Amino acid sequence: MTGVPASTNLRQASCFAGLCLPTVMKSEVRLLSASEIPDTFQDILRPHLPYADSGELAAASELGGLGLDSMSIVALLADIENSYDVELPDDILNEETFATVGSLWRTLSTLVA
Query: Domains in the chain and their CATH numbers?
Result: 33-112 (1.10.1200.10)
- Helices 70-84 and 101-112: angle between axes, nearest 10 degrees: 30
Q: Is the pLDDT at 6 greater than 60, yes or no?
A: no
58-102 residue pLDDT tens: 999 999 999 999 999 999 999 999 999 999 999 999 999 999 999
Cβ atoms of residues 48 and 61 within 8 Å: no
Q: Is the pLDDT at 113 greater than 90, yes or no?
A: no
Q: CA dihedral in degrees (50, 52, 18, 93; nearest 10)?
A: 110
Q: What is the DSSP annotation of 22-47?
A: --B-GGGSPPPPGGGS-HHHHHHHGG
Query: Helix count (H) and strand count (E) of the chain?
Result: 3, 2
Cα–Cα dist 65/36, whole Å: 21
Percent of the chain with pLDDT over 70: 69
pTM as predicted:
0.70
The better pLDDT of the pair 26, 54 is held by 54
Q: Is the pLDDT at 32 greater than 90, yes or no?
A: no
